[in-house]
Structure 1
């Protein structure tokens, strides 16, 4: 039945595909012919500026029921005459693009030039109904009927033949199962037919006879081998006793030489490992950077290629791959920068008492959606009021990395347990336990190496392998230590120990208030809020236009340079200004300084949107007067949050005034 189904689907699908392709070509060819004929008939009307004659020519389209609308444009691009089928809307493009017919929704549109004596008099535009979907639906119903009929016929044939073929096979299977379970090779299958199945029964019985005979031979041979083994063991013991004294003397004489050789080999191995580690790190970093770039550039080339047309679903899929690879590349770059800063000693930590309960609550909010997507249960400890001495931001980074690894390398439907218990004297232990596949001892020995991927060399899980290296270095910089225990098939437990601290519960309410004020829920507005975006990169301008287009409460103005942006800010008084920093002619810092010095624009909040993402760049931008500082590549959720918080700030300022 599977073969029948596959053959029916292939044959019917081929016929349907060929017919639909021929129909589509015929439809477009008819449309081209109709447009050329109509353009030839209307040339005189355009020459004599006779709109009535043009409308009469267009009225001949009534004879074609599939034509929904037609129009004649004069040489200047103005609409000269129109025709609209009954029940259709009189909607025509302002400037119809020329070229071959193209599908647009449930219509096929075409615009062709009207040329008389080598002079272009205007354009003829036609819009006809695209009946390809209806024709496809009819063919699918026919295909379904043919397939069901073929499957029913195959089922009747198989049902008849199955009784003849399977009865002897089932009987033979029962005998084979009994022989395997009882090891009784004297059993024989009964011959109940005179066909190929009967030949199979005879062969099976012959095989059982051979196995029975060989089993007897093996048992006899085993007894002989056991007797010879006992004799050889006795002789070997005597030889070993004689060799023991000789081996001891040789071992003593070679001990000193082996020790010297071992020390020399250790020195050579250390130098070799250092060189190999450098080469391996550079090779791995090159591979990891090129892997997401391959997906980004590959799918982008497909989307940009006319020779490789893609459907809307494919375009969405390709765009999703590009976004995923881009985020992975951004994560990799950030982790490499973190590792480089740690290795160079450029990381500055602010070690202070940190509340564990509040930090775990923030991690829980961020990690639970990722775990829920895979059906993984997360268990966090009850609030205990515990505090540790650490850098709050870096400790949150460490816990999120351990939790995300526990989810990523877990099994479907598993669990992740985070515990907070006393550790060594004066210390607090935070542990993350998962129910994944676990790690072997060899993998544990290489775990904290760059691009290790938690020992998953087969690449089944996406990751950079740098996160655990950064995690260990950060824990050590905060005066703590990290260890791991793992059992293959059971799971792994990563634990960190930090110095415990006792401090008053200060700042929690203030931070919560500040966080709530920074992310208020935007209320409904009567008119869209006006945004001005100053950016000299056309691709970035286009990207933000598409992002803003998804929000009905925003309206966007764009400026390609700072000077024009300042003029537009004076003319339109936008509520928010978005600005790149590296602008031609005048930088973003100079532009924001000019806005602040002008009383008319001094109160407009300016948000930086730039690729300068280093911490010192962020500090410099906020100190220069930017209200918020967003980095590229743009995170749409973070962008919307920044816009909403800025609008809420403006509403609060208006209420206070």
Structure 2
């Protein structure tokens, strides 16, 4: 009870403190506003009176010294200024003539201040005030008969700060006295408000401490506090009833909670077992899905590889077939007479293309055997010198035809563990590439170097154009053709792929190093064998050719020009021979897209024949540039290509080719296509305005 009583006293003092704080703050605010308003009003009036007094003195001095200024009498001016001794607030005065020079001065006793050398510039009949600490400086122009004679300078003590200090002391004293009176009144009368609240506070504290909701607060007044007591007692009654009901409900809830806890433990045990089973099943499904994704990806890659293989093989096989069937049709046709020299030349083209086709087929069959695992090797010690001698004999004619010097090592008397036939095939492939892609009059160097206790390296180095890093990275991919995107050499591009497979099957390694503009080195390493250095070169693109046609008969219409863009010389020769029997056409030829665009812009041919696989710029890119140029946009373009897959034909027609012809060329279909586009062109020219 003592503690509770002490707590009640603390609560009582707390509310009284708040009441005192509110009253004192209100009193202080009211005093501050009222006293501040009075002081500000008085100081403003004092300042205005001071300014008026100083202005009046300046006008009086100016009027009295105007005569002295007019007659240039400084003594009279000083005597007039000396009259300011009767004004102790004026500490200094001066007269300046109309030129701003100091004319007469006055200093109050005890003053030592100096005067400005020139007065402030004030207007005709105007004045200017300047505050300097607790002093007021006034500049007033002296005007007589509307003539400005000079300027009056007055410096007077304002005593404003002293007046402000006096007011502050008065305000502080008044405020303290008022706050003291307010505090005494609040302390005297505050208990009439806090006593009823104190009673309610004590009862509430006891109820909280003892949880005895049967206690009630006494009613000791008849005001708002009495209504608060009644409401508080009613609240206690309601709380008491609800507490009893809540305790009964809690006992029931505790019983149900115990039952639910037991049930929940059983459910958690079952869930744990189920989660373990689900986790195991999920892991199995994820593993199965991962294997399925890998299988799908492998199938997709295999399908893409198959499509790329079929497309590339279609192009590579149709290219020599085009020359074979085309020249054969010319030789077999009765309406296309040929001379014995032409027949010999055409037969040579057929023979060359047939041999090339046989080489392609053999490469494809060999690669298929390797991929199917049907190729078997007979591993045995092979004399390297004998194999290199056979390779020298077989590569010599090909190198001599291009003026390329091939150097073989003299110290290759070693034995390697390999298949003799396949080793010779690997070396011949590397040597053939080194000669084929070398520059005219170049050099191929074969070297044999030991690179370990039981390893030898054979390298083939050439003096060709070399390969870029991106070309080297894609070198051993099928149909890459040694990375020579701009080259005109024939081949499937699977020779190096097959070579790498053979070297791997002989438990060896193959690699390449290349420097653009210098050359390339292909090397293989075999067990207890030596190696050779090899080189790769890039052949230049054939120069643009232009074939003339027989002149038209006298009196006949001028022949129409046909532009053929083709990088394969045999195919170009075939079209030249086909069109040589037509006196109504003249053939223009270009070996790449850039040259073809230049000829099309210069000669404006009636139609354009175009291969799609051109060096530097594809046939689709050439077609797009022709359509963008207004001078060539109307020329019909016929595609003549070995890309004969259905999707290739659909893509070509969608791109805007007037006709899409595939190699090998059917001469009748070829002539019909040309006649069709020329007739359509002639009809468009007749109907054009």
Normalising TM by the smaller chain, what interval? 0.3 to 0.5
- Max Rg structure: 2
Question: Relative contact order: is structure 1 or structure 2 higher (C-alpha 8 Å, sep ≥ 6)?
Answer: 2
